[in-house]
Structure 1
Amino acid sequence: MSLQRHGLLAAALMGTILLPGAAAAHFQSIYAETPVLTAPGDVPLRLIFWHPFENGHVMDMGVPTTFYMVHRGEKTDLSDRLSQISFQGAENSAVAYAASVPVKKAGDYVLVLDPAPYYEQTEDIYIEQITKAYLNRAEMPTDWSDAQGLPTEIVPLNKPYAVVTGSTFSGQVLSAGQPVAGAEIEVEYIAALPDMATNTVEAPRAHPLPGGTLTAITDANGTFTFGIPKAGWWGFAALGVGPEKSFEGKELSQDAVIWVYAQDME
């Protein structure tokens, strides 16, 4: 098992430091072409478990345990909108899911995905990445700053669909509703955008830096801050912070994932 998932760096308790990771990051994504919407309609999504910064290996997803949205505090199940697809990454193809979100009224739409635990054979562990992403219609904030009562989650401290490139994003890691000090946060970027029409990836717009996975550590209040250097989708995963530690007799890394969207100022 990697040093990252053991969380051996947790004792550092530093909220803004960047550290090199030990291996390429597994990341569950909820991808939309843009989270900022002006008109009502169904918004297409792709749910992909892959290595987006490296434009690398794609992993097979099982049927998600739960998939829903929260709008103005009201929860709507979206599981009947899931359809299995084959997603072709740069290296391989794997099972992913297409979905759509019915966006009608103004406000925030918090998307919550709890995927089936994934067995990582090389580490002999299961990985469950409870993932949140956000859409907004008509620039009316409603739900973005609310905790969703998940087993583990990252609560955004900046509006997650309106981050300015060159500024920072901050979040607070919760497990069973309590802040997690010393949590290891892996940072990811969708360098090669999914093509919705073909379920393939476009050419990458960026490449990982030397030094390995970008990593931060939460402070005593469970918060972290990361400077956003480039427009697009940025993901943050708090590793192994969930209350569940085993699945089917093996170790479980129950991770909290959040996706935020950065834009350039013109």
Structure 2
Amino acid sequence: MTLKLIAAAMTALLPYTAQAHFVLPYADDTQIARPGDVPLALVFWHPFDNGHVMDMETPQAFYMIHHGEKTDLMNRLEPTNFQGAENTGAAFRASFPVKRSGDYVLVTEPVPYYEPSEDKYIQQLTKVVFNRNQLPTDWMAPVGLPTEILPLVKPYNVIAGSSFTGQVLSEGQPAAGIEIEIEYVAAAPDIDSFAASAPTVQPMPGGSLVAISDENGYFTFGVPKAGWWGFAALGSGPATEHDGKELSQDAVLWINAYDME
């Protein structure tokens, strides 16, 4: 496998949109210590700069895949509000059940969101992988979304200071030349209070961090810091229109990085 294109670029945007929109299914850790229900915050937000919280509608689908079996989780969504630094937005408390060892791939298929500043819709098909007892089972397998990012590095225990490589797929095929926005959760959600915590770092100057997928759909990012990192492949999906307006159907993948101790 040859990675011919590794790009990092900045976009010059207004302060309100300096960092990217990201659907964030957040838990305190990707390593699950014991069986039981794992609580989540499901928020549509700008987590790098603790920016504007977008109102999130009930997703079209919310489920997990464990040992190749799909479990619907729609009945575990509880509407609530999330308090960011700028505003309060509609969000969801959620959970997923953990019993056996292995990977738990959590998938959110949101309703397309209308962004007035761009006069278009955004739909972020989002994956995050959790694990119990260090048994890898499902993290490397596609889940069959119209577009998704396939990790080539186990996504729930990346070493800070190493690199992460993913492959953008559209309808199951590699997607070349896709712009990938990269986000850091600088202000982690507090699941008890359902509010953003104080940010640990400031956003990078120059706007969103960006990479481009190569001719085989691959991209690589050097992970500089422990914590949650998100990748959004913009417009990588086959759907391009919703309610008569442009639709950006994005593939989103979250990973968790740790410092070596």
Out of 113, 117, 126, the residue aligned to residue 122 of structure 1 is: 117
Trace 1:7-86 onto structure 2 (pairs within 5 A).
15-23=5-13, 24-86=19-81
Give the AA of the match of 2:202: H
Q: Please report how far the alpha carbon of residue 38 of structure 1 lies from its aligned counterpart in structure 2 after TM superposition.
A: 2.0
Out of 130, 133, 158, the residue aligned to residue 153 of structure 2 is: 158
SS of structure 2 residue aligned to 1:58: coil
1:14/1:217 contact within 8 Å kept: no
2:92 equivalent to 1:97: yes
Q: Which residue of 2 aligns with 1:262?
A: 257
- Cα distance in 1, alignment partners of residues 192 and 177 from structure 2: 41
Q: Please report how far the alpha carbon of residue 14 of structure 1 lies from its aligned counterpart in structure 2 after TM superposition.
A: 6.0
Give the AA of the match of 2:203: P
Q: Please report how far the alpha carbon of residue 22 of structure 1 lies from its aligned counterpart in structure 2 after TM superposition.
A: 3.9
- Cα distance in 2, alignment partners of residues 145 and 164 from structure 1: 18
- Cα distance in 1, alignment partners of residues 131 and 29 from structure 2: 10
- Cα distance in 2, alignment partners of residues 44 and 149 from structure 1: 25
TM-score (norm 1): 0.94
2:64/2:70 contact within 8 Å kept: yes
- Cα distance in 2, alignment partners of residues 257 and 17 from structure 1: 18
Trace 1:112-191 onto structure 2 (pairs within 5 A).
112-191=107-186
- Cα distance in 2, alignment partners of residues 21 and 172 from structure 1: 22
Q: Please report how far the alpha carbon of residue 16 of structure 1 lies from its aligned counterpart in structure 2 after TM superposition.
A: 1.3
The 10-residue stretch of structure 1 (71-80 or 24-33) with the greater mean CA deviation from structure 2: 24-33
Q: Which residue of 1 aligns with 2:237?
A: 242
Q: Please report how far the alpha carbon of residue 15 of structure 1 lies from its aligned counterpart in structure 2 after TM superposition.
A: 3.0
Q: Please report how far the alpha carbon of residue 55 of structure 1 lies from its aligned counterpart in structure 2 after TM superposition.
A: 0.6
RMSD over aligned CA atoms reads 1.0
Q: Please report how far the alpha carbon of residue 209 of structure 1 lies from its aligned counterpart in structure 2 after TM superposition.
A: 1.4
Aligned residues: 254
1:64/1:115 contact within 8 Å kept: yes
- Cα distance in 2, alignment partners of residues 136 and 212 from structure 1: 33
- Cα distance in 2, alignment partners of residues 179 and 232 from structure 1: 28
Trace 1:184-203 onto structure 2 (pairs within 5 A).
184-203=179-198
**What CA deviation, in whole Å up to 9, does each residue of 1:196-236 have, x standing for no partner?**
11111111001111121100001111000000011000000
- Cα distance in 2, alignment partners of residues 98 and 65 from structure 1: 16
- Cα distance in 1, alignment partners of residues 23 and 4 from structure 2: 25
2:221 equivalent to 1:226: yes
**What CA deviation, in whole Å up to 9, does each residue of 1:100-146 have, x standing for no partner?**
01000000000000011100011110000000001100000000000
Out of 202, 214, 217, the residue aligned to residue 207 of structure 1 is: 202
Please list every run of 5 or more consecutive structure 2 residues that lacks an aligned counterpart in the other structure: 14-18
Shift of the 177–232 alpha-carbon distance from structure 1 to 2, 3 Å rule, reads same
Give the AA of the match of 1:188: E
TM-score (norm 2): 0.96
- Cα distance in 2, alignment partners of residues 22 and 236 from structure 1: 19
Shift of the 191–137 alpha-carbon distance from structure 1 to 2, 3 Å rule, reads same
Q: Which runs of 4+ in 1 moved over 6 A?
A: none
Give the AA of the match of 2:63: Y
- Cα distance in 1, alignment partners of residues 142 and 253 from structure 2: 12
Sequence identity, in percent? 60
Give the AA of the match of 1:85: T
- Cα distance in 2, alignment partners of residues 172 and 263 from structure 1: 22
SS of structure 1 residue aligned to 2:125: strand
Give the AA of the match of 2:246: E
- Cα distance in 1, alignment partners of residues 167 and 69 from structure 2: 23
